[in-house]
Amino acid sequence: MSKKKFEQKKKKNKDFSRDILVILQKNSGKSFSWKQIAEKLKATSTEMRNDIIASLARLVKQSHINETSQGHFQAQGATYYHQGVVDMASNGNAYVVCEDLDQDVFVPNNLLNKALHGDLVEVYVFPRRREKLEGEITQVIERKRTTFVGLVQMQKNFAFVVPTDRRMYTDIFVPKEDCNGAEDGDKVLVRITQWTSRANSPYGVVEKILGKPGEHNTEIHAILAEYGLPSEFPQEVEAYAQQLDTTIKEEEIARRRDMRGVLTFTIDPRDAKDFDDALSFRVLDDGNFEVGVHIADVSHYVQPGTILDDEAYQRATSVYLVDRVVPMLPEVLSNFACSLRPEEEKYTFSAIFELSPQAEVRNVWLGRTVIRSDARFAYEEAQAVIEAFDTPYMEVPSDFVIPEEISIRPEGSYTVSKEIVEAILSLNAMAEILREKRMRAGAISFDKLEVKFFLDENNNPLGVYTKESKEANKLIEEFMLLANRKVAEYASKLQKTFVYRIHDVPDEEKLLQMQGVISRFGYKLNLKDKKNISHSINHLLQEVHGKKEQNLVDTLAIRSMSKAAYSTHNIGHYGLAFADYTHFTSPIRRYPDVMVHRLLQLYLDAGASANEAEYEEKCKHSSQMENLATSAERDSIKYMQIKYMEAHKDQEFLGVISGVTEFGIYVEIIENKCEGMIRARDMKDDYYVFDEKAYALIGEVSKQRYTLGDEVMIRVKNTDLVKRYLDFELVN
């Protein structure tokens, strides 16, 4: 057969199955004759009509459609429609994630039908012709968001706002009268007002001018705006908070356990302003210890049904950016009334333990208290105390001095009383025992390095450093974990509605992927023994500690884990190896802790179980806001890394490949943890193909491989603060 005849034969045998199914499914319940279907498909030739008739016969035979009467056809009762959430790719195509489907549904850009990233949509899934599911979005059920950050392109009578989010595939048309003073080139927050069926771009209105792109405050406010996070409190909320009576009342003290006479102190980051937890310590007559975990009683001031509570709930969390904190509560509460500052009486909610010297819990008391903190320490200061002595039982001098270079005091070196030194050492000894017990029970120890910046007075980065958790950090961590666990255990036994912090088992597929990467470094996981996977992960984390690949392996291990979340349905916490766990210890910065305080007091007062559906909805909202805050925090670090690397263009650095995609390779600089991308199109020595299974880019001619975990020398090629790009190029 000649090539010409073969092409003609191909044209004659066109399969119209997909098009026919779309018509019938969109009009389910109706039947159509083959002529009506041909008309809808604009069949203008005999060959096309014959192909449509043949396609109809195939679909009937495959039971995809019914022939209701001779020559009339109708969709099967089984639906090809599903609901799901749009996950946009940067190339303009998307996937729809449906809970009732095993696979995500691929949707090309031309079949999105105005759906945007995160939208809840109805998707029609085409009959399977390939391994992957493909479909068309037929309806936007609910928009995820209507506000976007973008750059203004001003025309004579209108403007276009070009979104900075790469997943937003269309610009936004703004009439001149709706620009609200924005000028060409401004970075703004724009809200979509409508998107008609005939319009290529949605219509919008400029809600806020963020500033000139590239300026520090502009970019920080843009990060917050991109995630719908506020940068300031509404005036009415600030006014409400200011008029609160925050004085300590004798009648309120009478209703609480008075702990003001017990040695109490706080240990927090050096630059902290909101101290929401304190520890008290005293030795009991029988040699046991009384340890109090005292938490700011935020729920005393933040009452349900008030605008203050509504604002706190909507925010759900404080947001910690590199140069500032966006608090959940107004400053009058977060930094003053609720902050457990030294030498000030404060209302608290406490978990008070009787512990043996071997850290065995003999007794637990939960309830409202009043305290007076005797001292405030930075982690570095408490660490200096711990490192100065080998054991809590040795003789402690009465005039121990924290070195001047460690002290946070304006006057320099700081004298610590013998009583406080002995308390810190005893608490540290018990914390180490508690931690060891957790590890033996299967808890996973993530001591991931935290990237921090030295900033000047204008918030320019002077340097990058990593912060590692030491004994003083772990001391506080263990007693907060103990309080959270015991509060959750109390609520669990009551079998009443409560807010838990849950964490599911790891994703097995991600663990297998992780195994493939770490094997290149000579490490392995024992995935056969399901019960001891956590011990195997811990062993791996200990092996890589202090090595160049530590940050990469830590990141891979965290990615293999399920996400922790809030829920009224208690499934336990895998990562901590706790059957019952909650968040009780940080109500200044987390709304779930406020809910826990309220529920705990309700049940201590023998109240009835709270409404489960109401609290589950609040848990879901809190989890979503936590994820947004985490993303904003991550973006602010990325922004500051790019800003830092601007001053290091053309310098060479040793890095490790931290990610591989079809577009290029991500490299993390070992020295400062800054991560950038080497784009495949810039690798001119060969044409590189992405091998998904091997996590590698492989040269088609040279067979040169760039694989996850490989060390490479890079040079900073380009920095873009506006788009938050950091581009590297390979050296040699």
- pLDDT reading at 680 higher than 80: yes
Cα-based angle 665, 116, 97 (whole degrees, multiple of 5): 70
pLDDT of residue 1: 41
User: Residues near 286 by Cβ (< 8 Å), separated by ≥ 6?
Assistant: none
> Residue 260: CB partners within 8 Å, gap ≥ 6?
345, 370, 371, 372
- Predicted confidence at residue 7, as pLDDT, reads 41
CATH class of the domain at 81-142: mainly beta
pLDDT-derived band at 20 (thresholds 50, 70, 90) equals confident
Residue 544 pLDDT? 86
* Average pLDDT estimate for 368-392: 90
Lookup result for tokens 């399977």: 128
On the question of pLDDT at 92 being above 60, the answer is yes
Give how far the C-alpha of residue 218 lies from the chain's centroid of Cα atoms, to the nearest Å.
Answer: 23
DSSP string, 408-447: --TTSSEEE-HHHHHHHHHHHHHHHHHHHHHHHHT-----
Dist. CA 387–CA 98, nearest whole Å: 53
> Is residue 526 a contact partner of residue 520, using CB atoms and an 8 Å limit?
no
Q: Is the pLDDT of residue 363 over 60?
A: yes
For residues 358-363, average pLDDT? 98
pLDDT at 3: 40
Amino acid identity at 50: N
CB atoms under 10 Å from CB of 214, counted, come to 12
| Arithmetic mean of pLDDT, 154-182 | 95
Can you tell me the mean pLDDT for 207-213?
96
- Per-residue confidence band for 285, with pLDDT thresholds at 50, 70 and 90: very high
16-75 belongs to which CATH class?
mainly alpha
* Predicted structure pTM score: 0.85
Rounded to whole angstroms, how far apart are CA atoms 283 and 451? 39
Distances (CA, A) of 341 to 73, 91, 154, 346, 472: 76, 51, 51, 8, 19
Distance in angstroms (rounded) separating the CA atoms of residues 179 and 150: 13
DSSP 247: S
pLDDT single digits (tens) 691-704 = 887 778 999 999 99
Q: How confident is the model at residue 394 (pLDDT cuts 50, 70, 90)?
A: low
Edge-to-edge strands, sheet with 277-283: 257-258, 361-372, 345-355, 289-296, 277-283, 264-268, 375-378
Q: Are 186 and 222 in contact (CB under 8 A)?
A: no
Query: Do the domains spanning 16-75 and 81-142 agree at the CATH topology level?
Result: no
CA 412 from centroid of its chain's CA atoms: 38
Domain 648-730 has CATH 1.10.645.10: no
Average pLDDT, the chain: 91
Q: Nearest CA to 722 among 30, 216, 206, 296?
A: 216
- The predicted-structure confidence for 440-468, as pLDDT tens digits, reads as follows 998 988 776 788 999 999 999 999 988 88
List the one residue out of 702, 719, 640 whose CA is nearest residue 673: 640
CA distance 297 to 370: 9
The contacts found for 8-13 with CB under 8 angstroms, 24 or more apart, are 11/47, 12/47, 12/50, 12/51, 13/51, 13/54
Residue 499 has pLDDT above 50, yes or no: yes
Q: In this model, does residue 666 exceed pLDDT 50?
A: yes
Give percent above pLDDT 90 in the chain. Answer: 67
Token pair in block for residue 684 = 């001119």
Predicted local confidence at residue 8, as pLDDT: 43
Give the pLDDT confidence score for residue 6 in this predicted structure: 35
pLDDT higher than threshold 60 for residue 392: no
Q: Residue written as tokens 């195994």?
A: 515
Of 17-21, 423-427, 586-590, least confident by mean pLDDT is: 17-21
Q: 497: pLDDT confidence band, cut at 50, 70 and 90?
A: very high
| Residue 705: DSSP 8-state | E
**Among 6-15, 255-264, 399-408, 604-613, where is mean pLDDT lowest?**
6-15
pLDDT at 407: 79
Q: Over 50: is that where the pLDDT of 11 sits? A: no
What are the structural domain ranges in the chain?
16-75, 81-142, 147-213, 236-403+416-500+577-630, 648-730
Report phi then psi at 115, rounded to 5.
-80, 145
Q: Is 188 helix (H, G, I), strand (E, B) or coil?
A: strand
Is the pLDDT assigned to residue 78 strictly greater than 60? no
Q: Please check the confidence at residue 391 and state whether its pLDDT lies above 60.
A: no
Q: Alpha carbon of 282 to those of 337, 372, 373: distances in Å?
A: 26, 15, 14
Determine how β-strand 257-258 pairs with β-strand 361-372. parallel
Bridge partners of 354, per DSSP, are: 290, 363
Give the single-character DSSP code of 520: G
- In this structure, what DSSP letter does residue 151 have? E
Looking at CATH, the fold of the domain delimited by 147-213 is given as: OB fold (Dihydrolipoamide Acetyltransferase, E2P) (2.40.50)
Quote the CA–CA distance of 201 and 169 in Å, as a whole number. 10
* Closest residue by Cα to residue 34 from 83, 67, 6: 67
Compute the distance between CA of residue 55 and CA of residue 60 in angstroms, rounded to an integer: 9
Residue type, 458: N
Which helix (H) or strand (E) covers residue 642, if one does? helix 612-645
Q: What is the mean pLDDT of residues 340-354?
A: 98
- Quick check: 354 pLDDT over 70? yes
Q: Distance between CA atoms of 318 and 630, rounded to whole angstroms?
A: 10
Q: What is the rounded distance in angstroms from the CA atom of residue 661 to the CA atom of residue 664?
A: 5
State the DSSP string of 22-52. HHHHHTTT--EEHHHHHHHTT--SHHHHHHH
